[in-house]
Structure 1
């Protein structure tokens, strides 16, 4: 974990840089557990695939393995829109200023890879930071009702088949809204999976679905950012 100073704001996050020393920038937004090991590992795996990956700590040091506590932490952060938007904007600023990315001098765009809680924030920021975001990957989460018309990103959406946290109606509505806004969108639903199927430390983990989703994610990011 490192601290970064951007525009007078201090954020903490996990940064992974590829062996070759440079690559496109990707922001990883953690689920409601906080910035736990699975999401740091996502950064490491992105770096292995050639990306500079940064996961900001949106909970400012707090983590949990309890669904009830995670729900409370997530609900509290959802209410503090200025904080989480500010932290994510600052994290984007870190990547834009980092010599390892292809973004120094204002060239190039970023991608988001979000998980559950982080999905909603990634989708929101693809509109809020439209000119900076080329690609958005979400695992499990939807955000219907946003005005996606100003977004410039392509979208890759991974959903579980059996997911009480994400009604199929919500997923379908967001897909329709993205299509209506003319945005490139690809949706995959993984048979027999549940929410958190990608996270190895969860009982819902599905190794085959996680492998396939990751392969699709890496191919998508290279296509959109290289």
Structure 2
């Protein structure tokens, strides 16, 4: 289950889904923004605020629910990473968690018993301060997740997204190589 960022179903989301499908994975890419694809991060934040974070989370849960019995790997870009993490915490059949460009709060009662988790972020990242990543990492470990963090020095926040100012081809290529290995290990 691959959740988009505040840029909606940006071409990078579909490119990523196709890359993963070519490697033999089934990939679902729900549109949580009703077909709207913002032109910029700022416009995406406005749209997110217009729809409301609770409604976006409700839509994401509804999109994942029909597939959750299959043991999903939850993945997401930035806003989508928060969604993926939040939903994975509530799905005891989750097989993995792949976070690109963001994280979410780790509830005090979170328990994910060995959940394989990867985080890929720019370093530094304006939306994910380094001290937050450290706190997040420690909280995830306390919750029982098996966590790996990959930082990409000099890359922008949405560095995997072609056509946006943050894009960094080298960091993106490295990310997809590591992600491919991660997903192969999950089976």
TM-score by length of 1: 0.76
Equivalent of residue 176 in structure 1, options 138, 145, 149: 138
Could you list the runs of 5+ residues in structure 2 that have no partner in the other structure?
Answer: none
The residue that corresponds to 2:15 in the other structure is: 41
The residue that corresponds to 1:31 in the other structure is: 5
Q: How many residues matched?
A: 186
Equivalent of residue 89 in structure 1, options 35, 52, 61: 61
Which runs of structure 2 are paired with 1:200-215 in the superposition (5 Å)? 200-215=162-177
Higher helix share: 2
Equivalent of residue 105 in structure 2, options 140, 144, 158: 144
Higher strand share: 1
SS of 2:89 mapped into structure 1: helix
What is the CA distance between 1:143 and its match in structure 2?
A: 1.6
The residue that corresponds to 1:132 in the other structure is: 93
Shift in CA distance, 136/202, structure 1 to aligned 2, threshold 3 Å: same
SS of 2:172 mapped into structure 1: helix
SS of 2:184 mapped into structure 1: helix
CA offset digits 1:169-204 (Å, max 9, x no partner) = 111110010112221000010111110111111122
The residue that corresponds to 1:3 in the other structure is: none
Equivalent of residue 116 in structure 1, options 66, 78, 83: 78
Separation in 1 of the partners of 2:79 and 2:52?
9
What is the CA distance between 1:39 and its match in structure 2?
A: 0.5
Q: Which moved more, 1:64-73 or 1:145-154?
A: 145-154
Separation in 2 of the partners of 1:189 and 1:56?
27
Shift in CA distance, 219/51, structure 1 to aligned 2, threshold 3 Å: same
Structure 1 segments, 4+ long, off by >3 Å, are: 76-79, 93-96
Separation in 2 of the partners of 1:208 and 1:148?
38
Equivalent of residue 62 in structure 1, options 24, 32, 36: 36
CA offset digits 1:93-144 (Å, max 9, x no partner) = 4435xxxxxxxxx4x4100121011011111111122x13111111111223
TM-score by length of 2: 0.91
> Which one has a bigger Cα radius of gyration?
1
Separation in 2 of the partners of 1:148 and 1:212?
34
Whether contact under 8 Å (2:99, 2:120) holds in the other structure is yes
